[in-house]
Structures are given as structure tokens and as C-alpha cells.
Amino acid sequence: MSDERNRPETYLLSQELEEAIKVAEITSRPLLLKGEPGTGKSLLADYLSFTTKKKLFSWHVKSTSLAKEGLYFYDAVSRLNDSRFAEDKEKVRNIENYIRLGALGEAFSAPEPSVVLIDEIDKADIEFPNDLLLELDRMEFTIQETGRRIKAVHRPLTLITSNNEKELPAAFLRRCIFHYIDFPDPVFMGEIVSAHFPNIETSLLKRALESFYVIRTMDDMKKKPGTSELLDWIQILIHMGAKLPEEGRIPYIGALVKNEEDLKLFR
């Protein structure tokens, strides 16, 4: 069973999102995307890379990430090991052999225009976004260990996603184009599902969407299912040949409801 969620050719853009991308391209500013999980913020980078034929450089931010890591990393451990065990001592003397470029560093160095994804920037420390301001503005940085300056050959189209876990600094926001991806309404969601499953039966699509949006309207749910869960669920239904009754038990509910308390509430 193939993964139907992550095919870039099936990604659908709203008119508002298309406009935001165009504004980011015209102004050469990063596009900051917010929206609840499952609205396709990160997948947009794959879509743009696919449709523009530009290479994608992805940086998935963690709570321990430092801004410098997106530019480059000095692999001191490998150099120490080589100094002790490697026969090629000339390699060890040249520190450049141990500089590893991060996503931004690779994009700046790329000979062709590219797409950069800085994913879930709000996971990192509050000062993390501000630490990137200068590099994102000037599109250049210096490797401190060697003094080598890397300046972007082409300014990449930069996408930054946030799940609103932390407020982002005002100085950082001023330098971004902002777009909030609204959760799709049933009509647009039907188009999204049909793009992934072009041969889906109309009756199955109708009943699946009805059940999905009923679940999402339950006010006490802690984790409402998103687009990714819906696509998983429909993929299971098609694969198993399941039929959805007008009323009663919804099959394979574990694909939609991912929390024990929510499951009890739903039942």
C-alpha cells in the first residue's frame, strides 16, 4: 500500500496561499506559515520543489537546535578521531575537511536557485529566530573556524513553519511574509481527497467527509484529526473495501482518533 499523503503532485493550493507565495518571491522575504498540524505547511516545500524543479534543503528544528547549525557544523569529533587513527595527516591539518554545511549553507552554496524549509521554528529557544536575522537578510555568513565567507549565489525561496508553540520575536516577524493556512472546508477537503484518490467512489467520499467533520466538531476533543489522518483513514477504507453505514460504528477509528480520552469521548 503506497503512502498517499506525501506525493507533492497531489498538493492543492488555495488562492490565498498562492498569493502569499508570490509575495514572498517578489519581496525575497521568507514565507512564515502557521496553521494547525495537518494543514500541509511542511509539505508545501516538497510541492514547490517538485513544481519548480528546484532542489529542496530541509532543516527540521528541534528543542536543542542552534541557529548556527543551519549554516554549518564543525565536526571536531571526526577530526580528533582522524588525528589519532587516520594515516592521512594532511587531511587532519586542513580544518575545511571537517566543516559540514547545514541546510541554509548548502542552499547559499548551490549553483542553482533552491527551496529551503525551516520546519517548526517555534520548537527551539526563543532567541533562535533572532539569531538567524542577519544571515536571512544578507544571505551570507562566515565560517568562524576558517574565516571563509559564504554568500548566496541565488537567494533561495525560504519557507518557515510554526505550530504556535511559542510567540516569535517581533523583529523576526517584520522580516517575514506571513500566511495562516486555514483548515480546509468540506468542499476543498473533497478536492484534496480526490487529488490523492482520483478513483474514490462518490458515496464513500461523501460519507467519509461527513463522519470526519462530525468528529472535528466535538468540542471536548483534545486532538482533532487533521488532513493527514483523514487521508490515512480513507486509504485504509479503500484498501479494506470498507463501507460506511449511515449511522453506528465508524471502522478503523484509530486512524482518526489518537488520544485515549478522545476515544472514550467519541464512543
Domain limits, the chain: 8-180, 186-265
CB atoms within 10 A of CB 234: 23
The mean pLDDT value for 208-227 works out to: 90
Give the C-alpha separation, 171 to 134, whole Å.
Answer: 11
Termini Cα distance of the chain: 29
- Residue 264's pLDDT is 80
- Residue 6's pLDDT is 63
pLDDT of 220 over the 90 cut: no
The H or E element that residue 34 is part of is strand 31-34
Q: What is the pLDDT confidence band of residue 241, given thresholds at 50, 70 and 90? A: confident
**What is the pTM for the complete model shown?**
0.86
- Strands, E, within 66-175: which ranges? 72-74, 99-101, 114-119, 140-142, 149-151, 157-162
Q: CB within 8 A of 110, min separation 6: which ones?
A: 55, 57, 153, 154, 156
pLDDT of 151 over the 90 cut: yes
- Residue 19's pLDDT is 97
Q: What is the pLDDT confidence band of residue 1, given thresholds at 50, 70 and 90? A: very low
Q: Are 252 and 235 in contact (CB under 8 A)?
A: no
Question: Counting beta carbons within 10 angstroms of the beta carbon of residue 109, is it exposed (0 to 12), middle (13 to 18) or buried (19 or more)?
Answer: middle
Ramachandran angles phi, psi of 22, nearest 5°: -65, -40
Residue 66, C-alpha cell as written in the block = 542552534
- Residue 88's pLDDT is 73
The mean pLDDT value for 240-260 works out to: 81
Tens of pLDDT, residue by residue over 77-121, are 988 888 887 777 777 888 888 999 999 999 999 999 999 999 999
Tens of pLDDT, residue by residue over 158-214, are 999 998 888 899 999 999 999 999 999 999 999 999 999 999 999 999 999 999 999
Of the candidate CATH numbers 3.40.50.300, 3.40.50.12660, 3.30.70.20, 3.40.50.720, the domain formed by 8-180 belongs to 3.40.50.300
Closest CA to 56 of 114, 139, 121, 118: 114
- Residue 2's pLDDT is 44
